Amino acid sequence: MTDRSQPADSPRVVRGMPTLSQRERDILSAIVRQFVLTANPVGSRQLSRKQAFNLSPATIRNVMADLEEMGLLCHPHTSAGRVPSDLGYRMYVNDLMESRDLSPEEREAIAREYDGVSHELDEIMAATARVLSTATKLLAIVLVPNLDDAVLHRIDLVRVSENRVLVVISLDAGPVKTIMVELEQVIAEDQLKLIAQAVNRRLAGLTMAQVRAQIGDRIGDLPTHYPGLVRFFVDSAERLFSFTDREEMKIGGRAEVLSQPEFSRPESMRGIIELIEDKDIIFHLLHKDAGEERVSISIGSENPDARAKDLSVITSSYYTPTASGKFGVIGPTRMEYSRLKSLLEFTARMVSGHLSGNPSNK
């Protein structure tokens, strides 16, 4: 893995970016793009050959030395080339990066991943983790929203066999949850419909939090000729009507991120594996920024945990009518930031649409 140690006086968080000449801006931008593409340190001769600078390698080398002095580039000990520092990436993302829209083919490929996906929350979250990891080759994380304030629309009971019933819980917000129940008694199809109607009269229109708190009082007095199912609803309320656990998440792309050249050495591979296995760290990294930006980018030493000092975290939010959640990608700081920003914005629209019952690939 390339040694990306920061200059001694490099700030952990960006304050007062250096002012660059147009030549310095062009060369820094070219170095970032080239390094992202190849994962190899970038040299002055390489830039003079491949870029339309019309500058000699010596002139480019002098500019690179100035950029290094400003803390925007690092000089790996084993190479004559330079690589961007965290500060260099930050300047690129803030000031130099050109927007890069997804192509129609990319948008269509993402939309296809959601074809056939139901409104069940677990399916949508799993599809999103799969979309992100496939499209980025990075670690993809999807945090499931807290739906305590979501309103219960209805409960359906579907008889699967003599003593097995599928409980389908639908919310006004769009998501659906299904649970298979094994019963000790046989309940006929017409009885299941009567039970569902009775339960819906008592519970529909309440929030998930209200259902959990009040279910015993609301349905405990229902007729006793089907006590087993009523008792199941009361005893299992926390499981049935808690759509999410605060730190529940879907993770995809474990193998993909490990294939990145930055993690080829055993120690660097061990570090990313430890992070993948620690959901508390991941949750904290994705919730670092509480701002309103559609896409948030945290680079290297800007991350709150030292174990993520060589990683970048890009996050976005998705919304239902009553809740919101976060998702993002984690990988080496050498990322296609512009493409990833557009990718997360588009995916956020897809997820929000599916969770609201209005899927769209616009």
pLDDT by residue (tens digit) across 328-351?
999 999 999 999 999 999 999 999
The vertex-181 CA angle with 176 and 186, nearest 5°, equals 130
Distance CA 247, CA 252 (A): 16
Domain ranges of the chain: 22-96, 104-146+245-355, 152-240
pLDDT for residue 77 is more than 80: no
- Average pLDDT on 279-296 reads 78
Question: Average pLDDT of the chain?
Answer: 86
Main-chain phi, psi angles of 251, to 5 degrees = -125, 130
For residue range 27-71, list pLDDT tens digits in order. 999 999 999 999 999 999 989 887 677 888 999 999 999 999 999
The answer to whether residues 189 and 210 touch, using CB atoms and an 8 Å cutoff, is: no
Distance CA 35, CA 93 (A): 14
| Domain over 104-146+245-355 is classified CATH 3.30.450.40 | yes
Q: Can you read off the two tokens belonging to residue 14? A: 């960006």
pLDDT of residue 337: 97
pLDDT of residue 223: 72
Distance CA 150, CA 73 (A): 48
DSSP 148: T
DSSP 352: H
CATH of domain 22-96: 1.10.10.10
Helical ranges in the chain per DSSP H = 22-38, 44-50, 57-69, 86-91, 104-113, 121-136, 189-203, 208-219, 227-235, 237-240, 254-258, 266-277, 279-286, 337-355
Q: Can you read off the two tokens belonging to residue 52? A: 């339309």
- Average pLDDT on 320-325 reads 79
Instruction: Indicate the range of 10-24, 88-102, 176-190 predicted with least confidence.
Output: 10-24
Dihedral of alpha carbons 356, 108, 106, 131, sign: positive
pLDDT of residue 301: 93
Q: Can you read off the two tokens belonging to residue 319? A: 């919304």
Other CB atoms within a 10 A radius of the CB of residue 209 amount to 15
Q: Can you read off the two tokens belonging to residue 349? A: 């629209």
| 3-class secondary-structure state, position 77 | coil
The alpha carbon of 128 is separated from its chain's Cα centroid by a whole number of angstroms, namely 8
The answer to whether residues 43 and 75 touch, using CB atoms and an 8 Å cutoff, is: no
For residue range 128-179, list pLDDT tens digits in order. 999 999 999 999 999 988 788 889 999 999 989 888 889 999 988 667 888 8
The answer to whether residues 46 and 31 touch, using CB atoms and an 8 Å cutoff, is: no
The answer to whether residues 13 and 65 touch, using CB atoms and an 8 Å cutoff, is: no
| Domain over 152-240 is classified CATH 3.30.390.60 | yes
Residue 48: burial class (beta carbons within 10 Å; 0-12, 13-18, 19+) = middle
Task: For residue 57, give Cα distances in angstroms to 61, 78, 324.
Answer: 6, 20, 51
Q: Which residue has the higher pLDDT, 232 or 223?
A: 232
